[in-house]
Amino acid sequence: MSDFYIKTGTTSVPTERGYYGAFGGRFVPETIVPALEELTTEYAQAMADPAFHAELAHLQQTYTGRPTPVTFARRLTEQLGGAKIYLKREDLAHTGAHKINNALGQALLAKRMGRHRVIAETGAGQHGVASATAAALLGLECHVYMGSVDMARQQPNVFRMKLMGAEVIPVESGSKTLKDAINEAMRDWVTNVRTTFYLLGSALGPHPYPMMVRDFQSVIGVEARAQMLALAGQLPDVCIACVGGGSNAIGLFHAFRNDDSVDLIGVEAGGSGIDSGKHAARFADLNISRPGVLHGTRSYVMQDDDGQVRETHSISAGLDYPSIGPEHAYLRSLERAYYTSATDDEALAAFRTLSEMEGIIPALETAHAVAEVIKRAPTMSRDSVLLVNLSGRGDKDLDTVIKILGDRL
C-alpha cells in the first residue's frame, strides 16, 4: 500500500549514556553534567514508583481531561475516498495542545525533587504557557525566558503566562528569539542548579530529556492504540504526526514501535518549498542539513558549510526549529519511521479543509500532518485505516491566518 519499506524497530534505546544509535548523548558544559546525572537518577526512581504514576494519572484525568478522544473523520474520509481517517484529539487537552502532558510530568518530578523554582524557554509561547500552567497547578515558582522579538509577536501568550503567575524574562541577546532564550535558560540553570528545575519543552536537549519527554508524551500513543482497537477494530495501517522538536510525534509513535504492520510518518515544515531553502525540513535536503550538535544533543541540524546554524522558515512557529529530536534521526536511520514535509500553502489548505469538513480548527503545526493525510489517504484502499495526531487547536493561529486569508474567506 505504501511506497516505502519499514524494518522492525529495536527498542532498547536510548543507551545508558543517552544514545539512540549515532544520535543523542549529552553535549553540555561540565558544570551541568552532575545536574543531568541527578535528574536521570531521580527520573528513574520516579518511574519505578507507583505513587508517582498514580499522581500523574490522577492529574491527567481530573485536570488535563485525559484520555483525549479519538474521532472518526467521516466527511473527510468520504471526500478523500480512500483510507478511513481517525483523529487523536490532543487539541482537546487542557490549554489546547499536547505540550501540557510533558509540562505536568516534569513539574511533578521537580516537586518530587524538592525544587520549587522551574525555568523554561519558549519561542511562540506555547511551551511557556504549558509550563506556567503546570507551575500554577503545583504551586511552583516559574520563570520563562523569551526573546523580546518573540514577546512582541506573541503578546496573548505572554499575557497568559503572567496571568498564571509566571515571570516572563525578555532576552535581548542575539536575534532575540528562541535560540537566544535557550542560551539564557541554560545559563540560569548552571547558576541555580541546586534550587532550579529546567523544564524542557520537546524531545530534545541533553540526556535524559529526549527520553523523559518521550515517556511523558507516550500517553498519546498508549491511549490511541487501545482506542483504535476498540473503535476501528484494528490497529491503524499508518500513523501520521507533525514534527517540530518531535515530542507529539514520538508520543504517538512510541506505543506502535513494535507493531510492524503500522507505518510511522513524521511531517516536517516545508515552508516556501524545499527547493527555496526556506523551510525547517531537517531530513528533506541533506545538502543543508546534516548530523551535528545543537542545544546539547546530536541530531540532524540545518547548517551551512562552516557549521553555522541556518535560518529556518515555517508558517507555524512550533515547527520552526533547525534541529530535530535525536530519536527521530534514529528511527529514520532504521527506516522504522519515514519523514516527509508539507509546505506553508499545503498546511494552510489543510487548515481550511479540516475546519470545513469536520468542524475542527487545527493548529498550523497540526495542519502539516493533516496535509499529509490529504495527500496519502486517497492512495490507500477503503478498508485501510489512518490515524493522525491532532497535536493542538488553531485558536492561537487565527491572527496569522486572518492576515493571509482574511479577504479570501
Ligand X SMILES: *Cc1c(COP(=O)(O)O)cnc(C)c1O
Classify residue 4 by its DSSP letter.
S
Q: Of 327 and 365, which has the nearer Cβ to ligand X?
A: 365
Q: Of 40 and 247, which has the nearer Cβ to ligand X?
A: 247
Distance CA 104, CA 339 (A): 29
State how far Cα 136 lies from the chain centre: 22
Q: Which residues are CB-neighbours of 155 under 8 A, at least 6 positions away?
A: none
Catalytic residue (one of 121, 184, 358, 372): 121
Q: Which residues are CB-neighbours of 277 under 8 A, at least 6 positions away?
A: 285, 288
CB of 362 to ligand X, least distance (A): 8
Catalytic residue (one of 247, 316, 323, 391): 391
121 is catalytic: yes
State how far Cα 381 lies from the chain centre: 30
CB of 108 to ligand X, least distance (A): 19
| Contact assessment for residue 149 and residue 181, using Cβ atoms and an 8 Å cutoff | no
CB of 247 to ligand X, least distance (A): 3
Q: Of 118 and 250, which has the nearer Cβ to ligand X?
A: 250
Q: Of 327 and 380, which has the nearer Cβ to ligand X?
A: 327
Catalytic residue (one of 88, 99, 176, 179): 99
| Contact assessment for residue 41 and residue 109, using Cβ atoms and an 8 Å cutoff | no
Beta bridge partners of 197: 118
Q: Of 193 and 246, which has the nearer Cβ to ligand X?
A: 246
The continuous run of DSSP H or E covering 229 comes out as helix 219-231
Binding site for ligand X (CB under 6 A): 97, 99, 126, 202, 242-249, 318-319, 363, 365-366, 391-392
| Contact assessment for residue 121 and residue 204, using Cβ atoms and an 8 Å cutoff | no
Q: Of 268 and 380, which has the nearer Cβ to ligand X?
A: 268
Amino acid at 159: F
Residues 50-75 as b or e (16 or more Cβ within 10 Å = b): eebeebbeebbeeebebbbebbebee
CB of 368 to ligand X, least distance (A): 8
Beta bridge partners of 11: none
Q: Of 244 and 322, which has the nearer Cβ to ligand X?
A: 244
Polymer length in residues for the chain: 409
State how far Cα 120 lies from the chain centre: 15
CB of 240 to ligand X, least distance (A): 13
Of 216, 226, 283, 211, the C-alpha closest to 259 is: 226
- Kindly report the backbone phi and psi dihedral angles of residue 387, in degrees, each rounded to the nearest multiple of 5, phi listed first: -120, 125
CB of 124 to ligand X, least distance (A): 7
CB of 34 to ligand X, least distance (A): 27
| Residue closest to ligand X (Cβ) | 392
| Contact assessment for residue 313 and residue 278, using Cβ atoms and an 8 Å cutoff | yes
List, by residue number, the catalytic residues: 99, 121, 391
